Each structure stands twice: as C-alpha cells, then as structure tokens.
Amino acid sequence: MEDNQAKKTAIREQARKNRVGQQNKDAISRDIVTAFMAMPEYVAAKTILYYVDAGSEVRTRHMLPEALAGGKRIVVPYCIVETNELELFLLEDMSELVEGAYKILEPKLELRNQPGKIVAPEDLDLVMVPGTAFDASGGRMGQGKGYYDRMLARVRPNAPLVAIAFDCQIFDAIPVASHDVFMDKVLTESRVLTGKGRK
C-alpha cells in the first residue's frame, strides 16, 4: 500500500512538472478542445459537463463561448470547500462566472441556487474530465482529494467520460484504487486512447 502511495506521489509530481513545462499551451489546448467538440459523443450529447481550467491544465475557458453558442446545455463544476464536493451549474453566459477559490472561474454565488441552475450528475450526457496523469487503460490520477471520483460515480453508465490532457500527462501505468473511476477515452493533442470505462 505504501509502495503504491509512493508511486502515486512520484507520478503526480512528474505529471505536474511536465504540464507546467508544456509549450504552446493556448494553441495546443485549442486543438484538443476543438477535437473534443468534434467527437461523435459530443455531437450526440445534449447536456455536457465542461471543466474550467485551473493552473497548468488543458485550457478550456477560451472555447467556452463557442460551446455556449452551439446549442448544447453546458454545465460547469464548482467546488464546495467545506464538504469537499463538486456541484454542477448550468452555464448560459460567460458573465455568470467569477474568479473563485484556487483562481478557478466559478459561478457567482448569488446564481448558484437559482431555479434551473442546479444540475445532477445523473443528467449529464457527456463529461469532460480533467486530471493530473492518465494511462492507456483510462486510469486517472486527480489532485488527490477525490472530488471528481465521487461525482463521476453518480454519472449514468451510458454517459461517456472523456478526459482531456497533454501528451506529457500520459504514463505507462497509474496505480489505481477500488474507488478510482476509469475513463472511456483520453484525448490528447496527438491521439485518442480508449480506456476501460466503468464496468
């Protein structure tokens, strides 16, 4: 168990280092998100969870206006720090976002509980998943707090989980635990990996 934890720590540190050092982040991020929006899964979906980038993650915020104009229901997650839970918000306009904890764009506080704004994970048709590191089987390593694992466990099995990442975030194998959720696909600037998904 300790050995697994040490491996996880080493991979997380290396992945973060790789991601921080990634050149041409804006241009490559645009290519990745454009490819995500061209996927058959995206075309078929009505309600899509779009994460909003933080730190050195694949940048999604530049493409959000285009997604909002595309006739889909675009949902963004935000973190409730007190409970360590992710909540989901129906985004209709970029003006509804403001910089919150960890410098992440989040829905304005006064809008969060308005009628029709709260979305349940079960209502999602497609989920764009961030992460620190991934492997070819769809194994995912997040920040270590489990926010996404808990939320993804409630997503319908027929709603694909598609992670987006830079090539430099892909590792041979990631140590996984029983609660970890495997991705259906991992999309990078050069390839689409087909993961195990949820069995």
For residue 101, pLDDT beyond 60: yes
Rounded to whole angstroms, the Cα distance separating 58 from 52 reads 9
Alpha-carbon distances of 78 from 68, 87, 89, 122, rounded to whole Å: 18, 5, 8, 16
For residues 115-144, b (16+ Cβ closer than 10 Å) or e, as one string?
Answer: eebebebebbbbbbbbbbbbbbbbbbbbee
pLDDT value of residue 2: 55
Q: Sheet holding 170-171: strands in order across?
A: 140-141, 133-135, 170-171
Domain coordinates of the chain in residue numbers?
2-194
Alpha-carbon distances of 178 from 136, 139, 149, 156, rounded to whole Å: 18, 11, 11, 19
Query: What percentage of the chain has pLDDT greater than the value 90?
Result: 72
For 134-190, write each residue's pLDDT tens digit: 999 999 998 777 788 889 999 999 999 999 999 999 999 998 877 788 999 999 999
Average pLDDT (94-113) is 89
For 60-82, write each residue's pLDDT tens digit: 999 999 999 999 999 999 988 77
Query: What percentage of the chain has pLDDT greater than the value 70?
Result: 97
Average pLDDT, the chain: 92
CATH class held by domain 2-194: alpha beta
Terminal Cα-to-Cα distance of the chain (whole angstroms)? 24
Long-range contacts of 25-30 (CB under 8 A, 24+ apart): 25/56, 25/58, 25/59, 26/59, 26/62, 28/58, 28/166, 28/189, 29/53, 29/58, 29/59, 29/60, 29/62, 30/59, 30/62, 30/63
Question: Using 50, 70 and 90 to split pLDDT, how confident is the model at 199?
Answer: low
Question: Using 50, 70 and 90 to split pLDDT, how confident is the model at 4?
Answer: confident
